Structure 1
Amino acid sequence: MKRGDFHRHAGGWTKWVPLPSTTWTRLRPGRAPLRCPLLTDADLARAVWTATHLPDLFTALRHAVCAHYEGFPEGLDVRAVHIHPVTRDGIPYVGVEFRDLGVALHGTRVVDLGGPEIATQRRIAEEDATDPRTGLDEALIGYWSSIPFDYGVMECSEFELRANGQGWTNLTNALGECITRLTWRCPESGLLELRTEDGRVSRHSYVVTGAPIAAVTFDEPVEFCHQFARSG
């Protein structure tokens, strides 16, 4: 990818890129505009990173989108992929704009989700990039699934904790899915506090390990499971 691949538009620079073959969209022939407000060497490097990692980005945001809609969303239209001139730990911030939805990501980590404007707001990336994560354990931020530990069990649990203190949990079994939206914090080291929208509070002592896979183990279960692996 080089500067000559981009063309100028009112809001910056655009290059059309192929979407991953597994992307669940109506857009044909499977392309979307990759948009950068500037085109410095750093912006070009962020664009290359984003184009290379598009399959990982769409895989990562799928869980959050399904939780948002409380089910699998059929045929979302991808309007654009926005690259913000912001990084943290060398990883760029990207916004994926759908017709009725926007997702802000830091690499494969979901930062925020809401209306289409969420994907275009540089402020969200800047605030996340400088956030000291006060009261949160960075080791817990991200998407976690019990699937690697569900040996012979006909249900699974998952949760996502975001750096803005919001998140969700989901229990899936033969009867369907049960999604709970919540806020979270760590009042002390090794203790996770979850507060649901209806005000229910639960506390869970935990240990995070990194080998052979990144995993967290809770003394008190989260959605009936004690052990989860990080995904993405």
Structure 2
Amino acid sequence: MDSTDGLDRAHRGLWPSLRAHYVTLDPEEKEQPEHLATVRAVYQHPVTRDGFPYVGIAFDCLRDPERGVGAIMHGNRVVHLGGAEVAAEAGIAERDAADPRTGLDEALIGHWSSDPFDYGVLECSDLELRADGTGWSSVSNAFTEDVDRLTWGCPEPGVLELRSPEGDVIRHRYVVGPAVPVHSAEPVMSVTFEEPVAYSYQYGKWG
């Protein structure tokens, strides 16, 4: 893969997570992440999984200038997000590359948005499920955005278990497969839940 293409994929996948990161720092945050974070350094780690390399991106951050923001990306998937120093930590990439994903459904790993299936709805929901069993969900509208951290697993096939930081556990039955969005004739990979997750029943895969 061309390194420029890889970096573009990483950026596209990272923006929703950066947005959620800033909202957790300040629930009143209105600026978009591209206005708050400037790339400081890029690291291409000598590790691959499924043919994709791992890339670390470090940012200078207006909201947290001392720590900055750093991420390890695998394609457009966020592996880990933290301070700027995270971007240089090859060990994070190595652990992710070797992880057998025990107790997780790999089809769910990544970022999902209800946007492709929202029609006449003023809110949008996002769900990010990371390969280390952590993640977050958000509900946003023109006025506000709420972000909730979570951990997740799949106790049995077709069942997603979400756990809040307070210890609340909710299980959702789901199906993953292609579906046609509201304003498109082309199907996208989607996950559909029997009961809503963050107020939405259906999400499309980001990127």
Normalising by the smaller structure, the TM-score range is 0.7 to 0.9
* Aligned 8 A contact 2:10 2:74 in 1: no
Q: Please give the secondary structure, in 2, of the residue aligned with 1:199.
A: coil
Q: TM-score, normalised by structure 1?
A: 0.77
Percent identity over the alignment is: 55
Give the partner amino acid of 1:141: I
* Max Rg structure: 1
Q: Which structure would you say has the larger RCO, counting Cα contacts within 8 Å and 6 or more residues apart?
A: 2
Q: Which amino acid aligns with 1:135?
A: G
Counterpart pick for 1:97 among 40, 58, 63:
58
Q: Is residue 88 from structure 1 mapped to residue 49 from structure 2 by the alignment?
A: yes
Counterpart of 1:158, as a letter, is: D
The answer to whether the aligner puts 1:141 opposite 2:109 as a matched pair is yes
Query: 1:161 aligned to 2:129?
Result: yes
1:111-162 CA-to-partner distances (Å, cap 9, x unmatched) read 0000112110110011000100000000000000001110111111011000
Match of 1:29 in 2: none
Instruction: Tell me which residue corresponds to 2:22.
Output: 69
Normalised TM-score (structure 2): 0.86
Superposed CA RMSD: 1.3
1:80 aligns to what SS in structure 2?
Answer: strand
Unpaired segments ≥5 residues, structure 2: 24-28, 61-67, 180-186
CA distance in 1, matches of 2:36, 2:121: 31
- Give 1:130's aligned residue: 98
Consecutive aligned runs of 4 or more in structure 1 exceeding 6 Å deviation: none
The 8 Å contact of residues 7 and 55 in structure 2, kept in 1 or not, is answered as no
- Residue 80 (structure 1) shift: 0.8
What does 1:1-232 correspond to in 2, within 5 Å?
A: 49-70=2-23, 71=29, 72-73=32-33, 74-99=35-60, 100-210=68-178, 212-232=187-207
Q: 1:216 Cα shift?
A: 0.4
Q: Extract unaligned runs of 5+ from structure 1.
A: 1-47
